[in-house]
Structure 1
Amino acid sequence: MKILLFCAKGFETMEFSVFVDVMGWARNDYNYDIQVETCGFTKTVVSTFNVPIIVDKTIEEIDLDDYDALAIPGGFEEFDFYEEAYDEKLLELIRKFDSLGKIIATICVGALPLGKSGILKNRKATTYHLRDAYRQKELAAFGVDVVNEPIVVDKNVITSYCPETASGVAFKLLEMLTSKEEMEIVKKAMGF
Structure 2
Amino acid sequence: MHKKKVLLFLAKAFETMEFSVFIDVLGWARNDYGHPIFVETCGFTNKVISTFNVPVLVDKTIDEINVNDYDVLAIPGGFGEFGFYEDAYNERFLELINEFNDKGKIIASVCSGAMPLGKSGVLKNRRGTTYHLENGNWQKKLSEFGVNVVNEPVVVDTNIITSYCPETAPKVAFELLKMLTTEEDMLKIKHDMGF
Query: Of residues 158, 165, 169 in structure 1, which corresponds to 2:168?
Result: 165
Instruction: Show CA shifts across 1:120-165 (max 9, x none).
Output: 0000000000010111011000000000000000000000000000
Q: How does 1:1-192 map to 2 (within 5 A)?
A: 1-192=4-195
Partner Cα separation in structure 2 for residue 114 and residue 92 of structure 1: 10
Partner Cα separation in structure 2 for residue 168 and residue 126 of structure 1: 14
Instruction: Show CA shifts across 1:93-127 (max 9, x none).
Output: 00000000000000000000000000100000000
Instruction: Show CA shifts across 1:49-92 (max 9, x none).
Output: 11000000000000111100000000001110000000000000
Partner Cα separation in structure 2 for residue 66 and residue 183 of structure 1: 24
Partner Cα separation in structure 2 for residue 55 and residue 108 of structure 1: 21
Q: Show structure 1 runs of 4+ deviating over 4 A.
A: none
Structure 2 residue runs of 5 or longer lacking an equivalent are none
Give the partner amino acid of 1:69: V
How big is the alpha-carbon RMSD for the aligned residues of Structure 1 and Structure 2? 0.4
Partner Cα separation in structure 2 for residue 119 and residue 25 of structure 1: 30
Structure 1 residue runs of 5 or longer lacking an equivalent are none
Partner Cα separation in structure 2 for residue 113 and residue 64 of structure 1: 17
Give the partner amino acid of 1:73: P
Deviation at 1:173, TM superposition (A): 0.3
Give the partner amino acid of 2:127: K
Q: TM-score, normalised by structure 2?
A: 0.98
Partner Cα separation in structure 1 for residue 170 and residue 90 of structure 2: 27
